[in-house]
A and B are shown apart, each in its own frame.
Chain A
Amino acid sequence: MNDPLNKYILHLADNALILAQRNGEWCGHGPILEQDIAITNISLDLLGQARNFYQYAASLQGNDATEDSLAYLRIENEYRNGLLVEQPNIDWAQTILRQYFFSAYQYLLYEKLQASDDAQLAAIAAKALKEVSYHLRWSREWVIRLGDGTAESNRRMMQAVDALWRYTGELFIPADYENQVGVDVSLIKDAWTEQVNVVMAEAGIQLPEKTFMQTGGKQGIHTEHLGYILAELQYVQRAYPNSSW
């Protein structure tokens, strides 16, 4: 349960699951039908990634662990997702920006992970990379559209930057388990920053020069938002243990 590979796989899975859950809150509430479908399609892709990682982690753990027990029966401080993905939707701008920051990161990460010595991690990454390229293209276009849109959409995008920028630093600071088995995320920081700068310039959005970066999610120290997500996600399994479809 505590070896670095297991922690790393759960970290990858948790990132995907929590963002899937967040995006899924838009189901039936998207600004227009096509975009409602788009954001929930992205949720579905992320959920698929999460399932693949959880299944793999469960197979390594043994002891009756399953993809469900890993998703439904761990508490906040056992979750190792980054703080970015657990931040609330607030509005479309914040949802889009969260997705863009994350997809740009995930694309660079999976590009490297597909060359991993671990065959299963490499296979999941290679498979998911194709899907992430869609997420990245879609969210990038929306960031530009909103930033370079009306005064109101620009204001909302600026607010989103203020709310989310502080959670991006953590993505590129390797946790102890990443240092031992994972992709060295510090090496993808420059490529990420460069891409984000180009898109933000096109969107007419000024990024903060220097700011405090909040960390801790990858070690299990979360913002207050994660508990609420897990409460909703895990309620049925907690109330009716071992229930299944």
Chain B
Amino acid sequence: MVSNPTITESQIWDILASVCDPEIPVLSIVDMGIVRKVYLEENNPVIIITPTYTGCPAMDMITMQIRMALLEHGFTQITIRSELAPAWTTDWMTDEGKRKLQEYGIAPPNPSTTPLSEQIIQCPQCRSNNTQLISEFGSTACKALYQCQDCKEPFDYFKCH
């Protein structure tokens, strides 16, 4: 199969929405706000992505997964470029993404404009606001570790960034 001359950018976005974050499989890379731009150059897709954290080891895998997904849809000339500026922020995560995170048991990030001292981190299990920071660094670069003081469950919080 060769590149489809009738393909549109929105179809590329649909394909990308099927690529999941390897560390948080409920989120697609579109939900995460990693995909910054998609366009076609002579019917070949060009994808601009941005890393979440500079050292995030998932980024290499995400790049490979994007390539695989597009290859499966018949594209052979695929360009994937990583751009650092403007720096990724959790404010780019979609509302749908935040909802999925909470259902998965990870507290979604607060808006980055909220001052740290005023941040309320809600327990994703029982929705209590009575929670306590255990460690600013969690199981991956993007998460902090909290514990709910009501239901006692420890949980990950996706740090606002």
- Indicate whether A and B interact: yes
Which residues from chain A sit less than 8 Å from chain B, CB to CB? 34-35, 37-38, 41-42, 44-49, 51-52, 119-120, 122-124, 126-128, 130-131, 134, 137-138
Does B100 sit within 8 A of A, measured CB to CB? no
CB within 8 A of B55: which of A35, A49, A120, A124?
A49
10 contacts between A and B (CB under 8 A): A34-B135, A37-B138, A44-B53, A45-B53, A45-B54, A48-B55, A51-B54, A119-B85, A131-B141, A137-B136
- Known: A38-B136, A127-B84. Contact between A52 and B141, CB under 8 A? no
A130 touches B55 (CB 8 A): no
* B105 on interface, CB distance cutoff 8 Å: no
B85 touches A48 (CB 8 A): no
- Contacts A37-B137, A44-B57 aside, 15 further interface pairs with beta carbons under 8 A come to A34-B137, A35-B135, A38-B136, A38-B137, A45-B54, A45-B141, A48-B51, A51-B55, A126-B85, A127-B51, A127-B85, A128-B54, A131-B53, A138-B136, A138-B137
B residues bordering A, Cβ < 8 Å?
51, 53-57, 83-88, 134-139, 141, 145, 159, 161
Cβ of A49: which chain B residues have Cβ within 8 Å of it? 54-55
The distance from the CB of B89 to the nearest CB of chain A, in whole angstroms, is 8
Contact B139 A127 (CB under 8 A): no
Please tell me if the beta carbons of A130 and B87 are within 8 angstroms of each other in the complex: yes
For the complex formed, measure the closest distance between the CB of A158 and the CB atoms of chain B, giving whole angstroms.
Answer: 26
Given known A34-B134, A119-B85, A127-B87, contact A48–B56 (CB-CB < 8 A): yes
Interface secondary structure of A, over-half rule: helix
Q: Which residues of A contact B83 (CB under 8 A)?
A: 123
- Docked Cα-Cα span, A115 to B138, in Å, equals 31
User: A131 touching B85 by the CB < 8 A rule?
Assistant: no
Residue of A nearest to B142 (CB): A41
Task: Provide the residues of chain B in CB contact with A137, threshold 8 Å.
Answer: 136
Q: How far is the CB of A78 from chain B (nearest CB, A)?
A: 23
Q: How far is the CA of A120 from the CA of B83 in the complex (A)?
A: 9
> Which residue on chain B has the smallest CB distance to residue A33?
B135
Of all chain B residues, the one with the shortest Cβ separation from A127 is: B87
Kindly provide the distance from the CB of A205 to the nearest chain B CB, expressed in whole angstroms.
23
Q: Can you name the residue of chain B whose Cβ is closest to the Cβ of A141?
A: B136
**Chain B: minimal CB distance from A231 (Å):** 23
Considering the complex of A and B, which 5 residue pairs feature the smallest CB-CB distances, nearest first?
Answer: A48-B55, A48-B54, A123-B85, A34-B135, A38-B137
